[in-house]
Amino acid sequence: MFVDQARVMVQGGRGGDGCLSFRREKFVPRGGPNGGDGGDGGDVVFQVDPSLSTLTTFRLRQHFRAEKGEHGRGKDQHGKNGKEYRVMVPPGTGILNEERRPLVDLVEPGQEWVAARGGKGGRGNARFATSTNQAPRTRELGRPGQERIIYLELRLLADVGLVGMPNAGKSTLISRISAAKPKIADYPFTTLTPNLGVVEAAEYRSFVVADIPGLVEGAHTGTGLGTRFLRHVERTRLLAHLVDLSGSGGADPVRSMEIIDRELEQAEGSLGDRPQVVVATKLDLVEGTPGSRESLERLRASCEGKGLPFVAVSSVTGEGISALISLLTSELDRLGPPAPFPAEPA
């Protein structure tokens, strides 16, 4: 199961208590205070693990507590610090606070972030000895660790996001241009989870493509698969808008493109401003479908009027696939890196 959201509770370890103790040794007159300090509690640390791709782990566990610090002991023995607790997350995990405001974006392999700090250990009575108070009976208790609720949201790391209506041919295309093997069928919402594929371009170049499950009218409000997968488009540098030329279900290609564009404009994350290329799919069906040739030309003219790069392909015969990969490569070359996930101080 693909899991891309989770709610968890994190708690740093409590600090150990300081010790109240005095020396009691034979033949040692006037023994003084010798209570040691308590150890500090451990931190809860989130770390990026590139081998992970979902947040499935958090379906089974939602509470993460670090180890407590040990209490101080007599003979000036300090308690041991508590061990930190490391929580591994996949690249592209954004962490938000309880008000759903971004805190940090975990992207790079090995990147770390302290989610909950451990409490400080208390001081033993040996710390309070002075020239005027040589037998202090004061000690400190350990402080509790930081505790809070946080939310995790996974946003796939991809250069190109494939968007379009259900059955526009996204899964078939990504299986043609990469080694990805998504489920392919001729019914709506065949793809229920995003798929990633690496495309090998010319001159030892490569880029990552994400197949985003089909969008429908009203997706930004939750219709269909709704906003569940729109967040995965937010990190992509370029959108490849796939439009079905076959007119399946009586859909008009130009209107289908306008519906998806409107959903992207109304979605959060300024998706409507994202650079886009239009890919007309199922070119192999144009000749055998009445009106498809006219739809192709109308779609081409519409894209030219909007200044959008356009290419027609057939994932079945391979026609136009090389031109598509070249177009995506050139468009990525002129674009800068993706905008970082906005974050506030923790």
Mean per-residue pLDDT over the chain, rounded: 81
pLDDT, average across residues 94-111: 89
> Which residue intervals of the chain bear CATH 2.70.210.12?
1-154
Query: What is the reported pLDDT for 38?
Result: 94
For the domain covering 160-334, report its CATH number: 3.40.50.300
Residue 203 has pLDDT above 80, yes or no: no
Which has more confidence, 131 or 228?
131
Write the single-letter amino acid at 152.
L
Query: What is the reported pLDDT for 247?
Result: 67
Is residue 86 within 8 Å of residue 103, measured between CB atoms?
Answer: no
State pLDDT tens for residues 224-245.
Answer: 444 555 666 777 788 888 888 8
> Could you give the 3-state DSSP secondary structure of residue 240?
strand
Which of 92-101, 191-200, 292-301 is the most confident on average? 92-101
Strand partners, 152: 6, 95
Residue 261 has pLDDT above 80, yes or no: yes
Rounded distance between C-alpha atoms, residue 278 and residue 244, angstroms: 11
The model's confidence at residue 87, banded by pLDDT at 50, 70 and 90, is very high
124, burial (CB in 10 Å: exposed 0-12, middle 13-18, buried 19+)? buried
185 Cβ partners below 8 Å, 6+ apart?
none
**CATH assignment of 1-154, among 3.40.50.2300, 3.30.465.10, 2.60.34.10, 2.70.210.12:** 2.70.210.12
Which of 135-149, 216-230, 267-281, 323-337 is the most confident on average? 135-149
CA angle 297, 323, 317 (to 5 degrees): 80
Is residue 209 within 8 Å of residue 178, measured between CB atoms?
Answer: yes
Q: Which of these ranges, 5-9, 22-26, 245-249, has the smallest mean pLDDT?
A: 245-249
> Which residue intervals of the chain bear CATH 3.40.50.300?
160-334
- Side-by-side strand order, sheet with 238-244: 195-200, 206-211, 160-164, 238-244, 276-281, 310-312
pTM passes above 0.75: no
Is residue 320 within 8 Å of residue 311, measured between CB atoms?
Answer: yes
